[in-house]
Structure 1
Amino acid sequence: MGRHSKPNEHRRIPSSSLVLAMLAGPAAAVIAAGADVHRDVEPVAAAPAPIPPPSPEAAPYDLQVVASGPMAGPADFKTAGQAVSVASWKVADRAVRQALPTGVASERGLQVKTILAARAISVVFPEIQQIGGVRADALRWHPNGLALDVMIPNPSSAEGIALGNQIVAYVIKNAERFGMQDAIWRGVYYTPNGPRGSGNGHYDHVHITTTGGGYPTGSETYFR
């Protein structure tokens, strides 16, 4: 019958007693089913999860420098015959972090990402005994707490050049964490994506510029 067809006037309508009888059966079934669904059933205990074997006690979290083979491609930068290899620096991935102590840099006037970079460099490179920060300058980076001068001991020696290269590689490897904008060492200007020019001086220190992150409130904790 179509949805707009006229109902059949001659169809017999069941008597009320028959309707009641027809409804009684399904209702009883529903009630019985409902009783079945809602009765209290003792839950079956889940099988216990397997206990993993004990793991060796983890060493305290630290930044680890792991030397790897030379890495070909744009991540290797040449500076005065020395290779600055980002692949040479790997940070240990540990579940527990430790707070970084104040390093050798004066943190007066530095912004938070600049402080983080200075503290991390002080821990990873104990050879560094002096890191400059805020000072007067024609450009805004140092006066605004956005730049560091990592002074290299014996900067013209083979050891000094290698140390400066390692610091550049370490900062590039951690560019996102430190908010690295650029670094300059032995005339080469570096960005997080590699070298971008030469003839920029800085032969006795590695200059590092960060994006800052704002001035500290005094409640910050800097983690390794």
Structure 2
Amino acid sequence: MGRHSIAKKRRNPSVYVVSALAPAAVFLAVKADTSAIRVVVEEEPVAAPAPAPVEEQTVPCCVEIVAAPSSGPGPARLIDDGVADVEPASLVSASRWRVVSRTLPAGVAPETGLQVRTILTARSISAVFPEINNIGGVRQDALRWHPDGLALDVMIPNPTSQAGIALGNQIVAYVMANAERFGIQDAIWRGAYYTPGGAKAGGYGHYDHVHVTTTGGGYPDGDEVYFR
């Protein structure tokens, strides 16, 4: 009976040991698990693969203009390349191309005896105001302006009508706006005297034409080219 009691007593510490070791095992397991989690969290992030390089579109070197045929369904192609920051080629509709020359052809004024600035003024008025069909130049006069090729008489169609008066006003405004280029000395229209420095009204006549005087610039030698 005593042995049985002793044996029973000897089994109790084992239970206590197991009971004591069980939380430790759990603690170690949890600790091991948290260590594993910490390792995963603290791992360096995996770098994403580098994107494939984008191939830069090269720009051709030149300009090509292809006019569309008159009966073709598609528009013409305009390719304007050769510059770094150029827009992509765009389509434009074009059935014909027109080149405008900056050279001024002879106008309605007879140019014999006129000086170069007077010729430039006469040709420019003819180009800008095609309704003018008569411009006088060199003629005999008591004053030197017309005989010396320095003056023009721009004849106004229907000069007393509203349209005629408006046309004369436009011509005066045009030559004054270009006074430096044309070498304008003065203009006279409907009793008013105009200069690059201002205007005076009253008593100057010229109700049927605009009188324009230039500073001349010398007589032409035949090799001059006049530009707009």
* TM-score normalised to structure 2 length: 0.58
Please tell me whether residue 100 in structure 1 is matched to residue 134 in structure 2.
no
Q: Name the structure 1 match of 2:17.
A: none
Are 2:172 and 1:159 aligned? no
Partner of 2:138: 134
**What are the superposed Cα offsets for residues 126-181 of structure 1, whole Å, 9 maximum, x if unpaired?**
11000000000010100000000000001001110000000000000111111000
User: Greater relative contact order (Cα 8 A, min sep 6): structure 1 or 2?
Assistant: 1
Structure 1: runs of 5+ lacking an equivalent: 1-47, 62-96
Q: Which of 141, 162, 181 is matched with 2:185 structurally?
A: 181
How far 1:194 moved relative to its partner? 2.3
Counterpart of 1:116, as a letter, is: L
Residue aligned with 2:199, SS: strand
Q: Distance in 1 between matches of 2:128 and 2:99?
A: 15
Q: Distance in 2 between matches of 1:141 and 1:198?
A: 21
Instruction: Tell me which of 191, 201, 215 is aligned to 2:219.
Output: 215
Q: Highest Rg: 1 or 2? A: 2
Q: Distance in 2 between matches of 1:49 and 1:114?
A: 44
Aligned mates of 1:113, 1:132 — CA distance in 2 = 15
Quote the residue 2:84 is aligned against: 50
User: Which residue in 1 is equivalent to 2:198?
Assistant: 194
CA–CA separation in structure 2 for the residues paired with 1:111 and 1:159 = 31
Higher helix share: 2
The 3 A distance-change label for structure 1 pair 189 and 59 is farther
Letter in structure 1 aligned against 2:121: A
SS in 1 for 2:103: coil
Give the 3-state SS of the residue equivalent to 1:213 in structure 2. coil
Distance in 1, Cα, partners of 2:98 & 2:170: 25
What CA RMSD, in Å, does the superposition of the two structures yield over aligned residues? 2.2
3-state SS, counterpart of residue 115 of structure 1: helix
State TM-score, norm by structure 1.
Answer: 0.59
Q: 1:155, 1:206 → 2: CA distance?
A: 10
Q: 3-state SS of the aligned residue for 1:209?
A: strand
Q: Does 1:111 align with 2:145?
A: no
* 1:147 and 2:151 correspond: yes
**In structure 2, what residue type is equivalent to 1:178?**
F
Equivalent-residue separation in structure 1 for 2:86 and 2:148 (angstroms): 52
Stretches (4+) displaced over 4 A: 54-61
How many residues align? The count is 142
